[in-house]
Amino acid sequence: MSAQVYPFAGSPAMSYVPQQNYDKQKMNGAAVGPIPPPATYRPPIHRQKPGCCRLFCSLLFCFFVTILALFGITILVMWLVLRPHVPSYSLQNIEFHSFNLTEQQNAYSLNSDVLYTLEASNPNKRIGIQYDEIDIYTFYAGDELGQSSIPAFYQGHRNTTILTSELKLVNATLSQSAGTILQSSIQSTTLVSLQIRVDVRARMKFGSYTSFHFWVHSICDVQFYPPTATTPASVTSKSCGHTR
């Protein structure tokens, strides 16, 4: 049998010497093994607790997020229940009782009596409309001729209301260019174009709740033949569109 060799005291397998005894053994001439690597010092980790300000900001943020979420859910539920629709307006008829243009020293003035008939439609099933004011502005070639108004009133659910407003102009001043064009149209009996702007300020009402004010603006284009000594004015076309 082969002899089993055990490592002797100076062999590499037995040469580990603790760090604290290394210098003493070296001074005594003893054989020492390799120097063990020094232990790495790791300072303890201190976890900093959140401050009061940071905690307050987090709670405040959560509070506002919750409020916004509840507000959004409320608006969504109300919309699903009420299904609101914007009311619509259209110009049904125009009657020119008078329409006279005069010229004095290159200045033009217009005397006119016009009756507008409007149709206001509320398509909502559960919402009424409280009108605060309806203003009607009349323009020709960029010049504002005048304004008429319709008093405040309430319109019920799914209701269509016919409204009338009279515009009386007495010596309404026109610019030189607009007066010249209108005078030429009257003398040649050609079409005259007017622009009618309807501004509606209203609120929605459902139950005992009244909403904030909102505006609806409509622009109507009207074309008509001006009146003559033998024939009254006649409207050939009118069309309206909502601007917002």
What does the domain layout of the chain look like in residue ranges? 1-38, 55-84, 88-242
Position 240 scores a pLDDT of: 84
Burial group, residue 113, by CB count within 10 angstroms (0-12, 13-18, 19+)? middle
Res 202: pLDDT: 92
- Cα dist. 225→144, 148, 155, 160, 190 in Å? 20, 22, 35, 30, 6
Q: What is the pLDDT of residue 163?
A: 94
- Count of CB atoms within 10 A of residue 214's CB? 14
CA 181 to chain centre: 40
- Which pLDDT score is estimated for 88? 85
Q: What is the pLDDT of residues 215-225, one digit of tens each?
A: 988 899 999 99
pLDDT at 231: 81
Q: What is the pLDDT of residue 66?
A: 85
In this predicted structure, what is the pLDDT of residue 71? 73
pLDDT at 8: 47
pTM: 0.66
CA distances from 187 to 31, 40, 89, 190 (A): 131, 107, 34, 8
Q: What is the CATH number of domain 88-242?
A: 2.60.40
- Residues of the chain under the 50 pLDDT cut: 6, 8-10, 12-17
